[in-house]
Structure 1
Amino acid sequence: MLGRLRSSLLVGAGLALTVSAGVLAATTDRDGNGPVVAFAGLETPYLKLVSVDVAPAEVSLAWSGNGETYRVSLGSDLDRPDRTIVTTQPRVVLPAPEARDPKGRVSYRVEQVDDGPRGLAVEGTVTLLPDVPPRPKVKRTAPDGAVVKWKAADYATTYDVAVSRSKKKLPRQVKRLKRGGTSFATDRLKPETTYWVRVRAVGEAGVSEFGPATKVVTPPGTSDLRIGSWNICSEACDGYGGRVGGQAAQVHAAEVDIMALQEAGGERVGPTTRARFSGGPRGLVMASGGGNSRYLLYSPDKLEQLGGGRWSLGHGRWATWARFQDLKTERPFIAVSVHLLSGHNKTGQRASEMRTLMGALRSVNPDGVPVVLAGDFNSGTHRRGDTVGPIVRGAGFRDSVEVADSTQNAQVNTGSRRGDKAIMSADHVDHIYVSSEWGVPAWKQWASLSGTTYVGPWLSDHNMIGAVLRLQRDPEEDVSKPSPVVPVPADLPDRPDPGTVN
């Protein structure tokens, strides 16, 4: 009986030890710490950091320890911390202090303070996320690009720039500045297009959110202007009152932006010319400046007149000029209406007049803006010994009919006919000369013909000519030095390790 009882006690003791060992194993971590160990008085003091997280405005710390009270300090100098809190919880969220480190590094310390310092502490460093940059400001636009700038964001080492056609959606890839800085220049845009530009800061801890978008509208790269020229023979030819209506109708139907008129009349018929040729689809107005300024009309919807006047060329001849600014490309240029002396034996006088005109033109064009010379030069390749053409070409001008991409009625002589028969010599006394900056998509002569016979009402002893001239925005306005960039995804993964742990 006594032996049976002793055996039972031994078995019970063994079972108790086995259960205790199982509970101890199940509640103890790999470092030998746990509640059962602590209850049994077998645990040594410990403190272990579990997680560190950094948000734009706060730092979160979590730890594991067997203390009851903890002091958490945060700042660039832990001997004089910016933030300190005492807590009994194994976690804390503190407002992120301002880091003195330009890259956003902030130190932290978690220490046990049960019944006074026990010497257990963990320390480390977190890196704050950079601030969100403000809305960028547009400093410059060009047909193919733009330059934007913004204020620096704290803790940024460089920036990502998103260029999008949508105000709300980001592109799949953004451009990261290789050299940092707070400006971005691009030459990869399209003319007359609206873009939205956003910036986010890139730091050692990751990237910020994108800041607010700014609107960028690129200007047009080119402007097409229709230039007309016509010797309308208002007083030297009979019946101006009956002809002027048809002349004005033809000019308005051509929808010219600039009209250069010659022999447009003086005091007697000048008011009629001004009244009939003004207006039309382009709302033409007479250019101001000089007694003969009425020889130039322009469209104020497309052009702004900046100056003008007239030059005496000698031999009773005048030229009218006006300085315009193209409203589309914002580029200035000069237009001149010319009428040189007539007569087959007046070659020397015309050459003198042309040289005088070129000298006067240089005096009003010191900055070398583009120039159009339109009018009745009484000169062409068909006249022997002609020197006007060589003078004009020697100054860098081209005859628009010779360089146009397309022409209409270029084979017809503009100022000569034999009765109702057109002279198909491809020689012209009327010209539209252009400086090298102009492109010439098209040239046209208004000659209503059936075969080689003129049909319809007789309007003048010259035919009207016109050209479509293409002006580019000043190349000096282009973005010549785009920012070096590398493409990165707009959506980046979260930084897995915002700090270090000691």
Structure 2
Amino acid sequence: MTALVAVFSAVLPASASASSKPGAVKSVVASPGAAVGQIKVSWKASGSKTDKFRIETALTPFGSTNDGRGAQTFTVSGSKRSTTLSAKSVAKAGAAPATGNHLYIRVVAVDERKSGARTGKASDLVATTSRALPAAVASPLRIASYNIRSAKYDGADKRDWAERAPGVASDIVKVNPGIVAIQEASPGRFGTMRQTESLQAALIAADPAMGRYTLTRTTVYNPSGTPHGSQAARIAYDSSRYQLLSQCTDTTMVANVVQNWSNSCSFDLPVMAGDAPTWIRSAAYAEFADLATGKPFLVVSAHLDYRHSDNKNTEAKLNDLRRLQAATIWANMNLIRKPGEPVIVAGDFNASQADKGGNGPHDYLVEQGFYDAAGAVQQANLEFPSLNHFDKVLDEDPQGYARRVDQILVYGAPGSNKFKQLVEQKNPARNSDHNMVYADITLPTV
């Protein structure tokens, strides 16, 4: 008997300890709620030793503790197996429709009926966006953003610009946007012509019946010999649907001599203290009129600073720099825009929601009242990263939202009906190291 008692004494405490925790949350489903801004969360759990459930959210993935950026916690009764996060709660968590952000979500069972809270095994992470705000019934505009990869990398890339140019132009014509914000369309020489001129020729060849797409500028933004960084932010537009209002001239008259440069329809973005002038980047802008309504709007194409660092402090400074670059864009547009005139800022922000260091430029523009067109009623292919590195196969994000640095934000025309990446998961001959993204929005008619 003594031996048996000893055996039971060893087993019972361990068994009692194992059963003292609440039951595990086995699965979770998250989806847009019924009303704009809401998110619905449903889960399966035994409810054993559970007096409440804790819904944990963040803007970046998180592990055993909720250390994600912008972490929030919401609690509901242990009798529930679903809840709808209100628009106010979702906004607090950082995923209001205007942000285009998605929330990472998990559910944990909690027992607080005894001293010291006990938690059960947490669910796996899931992610969703909130119920989007549809664009108003007005004048439709399909706006695209495409980093086409500079020809200066020919030799380093397996496919040079001569091979890729027809595909890039075909991508644009196939999507049929009204306006395209383009990055890395270098005004540097590509053989006998500039890359910008080569792109213009490819667009005409891809659309021979109409030749609709025209670049607002093709020459350099600065006179020869000026120390300067990227001047490859450009804008193309469908001239059958939109009229260019800005005086985007390619030449400058100096001492009665025509020179092939102009700073028209461009402005410089700030750099970090101590940076050489060769770090300076130019943004492109232009004002257009919708030929159907006559209403004007402004578009900016920008390629923000690309640097990142594993050092937390350095990364924070670089995030602040990109935020300052976005602020400079908005300040310049406020100098020229008419009262109530919509503004679209699109491009390669070199930042995304997934960056733990922050999404500074995006967040700044949202704070000013911009609407991220990715917060759309219909979303497509967001499970793939927008920076594809020419990889033959792209990995699909397990939660459905991969890193997206290519962004489209709109001021004065809230709502978005569609946001899509033009992407194939398997492609051994990609046209660029970025996927083109585009959005269907509407512009006001009054």
TM-score category, normalised to shorter length: 0.5 to 0.7
CA distance in 1 between counterparts of 2:140 and 2:427 reads: 31
**Equivalent residue for 2:361, pick from 361, 370, 388:** 388
Whichever of the two has the greater Rg, that structure is: 1
Match of 1:287 in 2: 216
Decide whether the 8 Å contact of 2:390 with 2:430 is kept in 1. Answer: no
**Equivalent residue for 2:287, pick from 319, 323, 326:** 323
In structure 2, the CA distance between the partners of 1:418 and 1:298, relative to structure 1 (3 Å rule), is closer
SS in 1 for 2:328: helix
- Kindly provide the CA deviation profile for residues 322-343 of structure 1, in whole angstroms up to 9, marking residues without a partner as x: 1111111221110111100102
Q: Which amino acid aligns with 2:203?
A: F
Give the share of equivalent positions with the same residue, in percent: 27
- Kindly provide the CA deviation profile for residues 155-208 of structure 1, in whole angstroms up to 9, marking residues without a partner as x: xxxxxxxxxxxxxxxxxxxxxxxxxxxxxxxxxxxxxxxxxxxxxxxxxxxxxx
Structure 1 unaligned regions, length at least 5: 1-220, 475-502
Match of 2:237 in 1: 298
Q: Alpha-carbon deviation of 1:293?
A: 8.8
SS in 2 for 1:422: coil
Q: Alpha-carbon deviation of 1:229?
A: 0.9
Decide whether the 8 Å contact of 1:416 with 1:461 is kept in 2. Answer: yes
Q: Alpha-carbon deviation of 1:438?
A: 4.3
Structure 2 unaligned regions, length at least 5: 1-136, 190-194, 222-230, 249-264, 272-279, 310-317
Q: Alpha-carbon deviation of 1:418?
A: 8.8
**Equivalent residue for 1:277, pick from 203, 206, 211:** 203
CA distance in 1 between counterparts of 2:283 and 2:233 reads: 11
Decide whether the 8 Å contact of 1:416 with 1:423 is kept in 2. Answer: no
**Equivalent residue for 1:429, pick from 383, 405, 414:** 405
Query: Structure 1 stretches (4+) deviating beyond 4 angstroms?
Result: none
Q: Which amino acid aligns with 1:354?
A: A
Q: Alpha-carbon deviation of 1:393?
A: 0.6
CA distance in 1 between counterparts of 2:379 and 2:388 reads: 19
Decide whether the 8 Å contact of 2:352 with 2:404 is kept in 1. Answer: yes
Match of 1:486 in 2: none
Decide whether the 8 Å contact of 2:185 with 2:232 is kept in 1. Answer: no
CA distance in 2 between counterparts of 1:296 and 1:446 reads: 18
Match of 1:420 in 2: 392
Residue 284 of structure 2 corresponds to residue 311 of structure 1: no
Q: Which amino acid aligns with 1:389?
A: H
SS in 2 for 1:440: coil
TM-score (norm 2): 0.52
SS in 2 for 1:226: strand
Q: Which amino acid aligns with 1:264?
A: A
Pairs aligned (count): 250
Q: Alpha-carbon deviation of 1:236?
A: 4.7
Q: Which has the higher contact order (CA 8 A, sep 6+)?
A: 2
CA distance in 2 between counterparts of 1:462 and 1:423 reads: 14
CA distance in 1 between counterparts of 2:380 and 2:138 reads: 23
Match of 1:447 in 2: 423
Q: Which amino acid aligns with 1:270?
A: T
CA distance in 2 between counterparts of 1:278 and 1:287 reads: 14
Q: Alpha-carbon deviation of 1:319?
A: 0.8
Q: Alpha-carbon deviation of 1:385?
A: 2.7
Match of 2:168 in 1: 247
Q: Which amino acid aligns with 1:369?
A: E
CA RMSD of aligned residues (A): 2.4
- Kindly provide the CA deviation profile for residues 52-90 of structure 1, in whole angstroms up to 9, marking residues without a partner as x: xxxxxxxxxxxxxxxxxxxxxxxxxxxxxxxxxxxxxxx
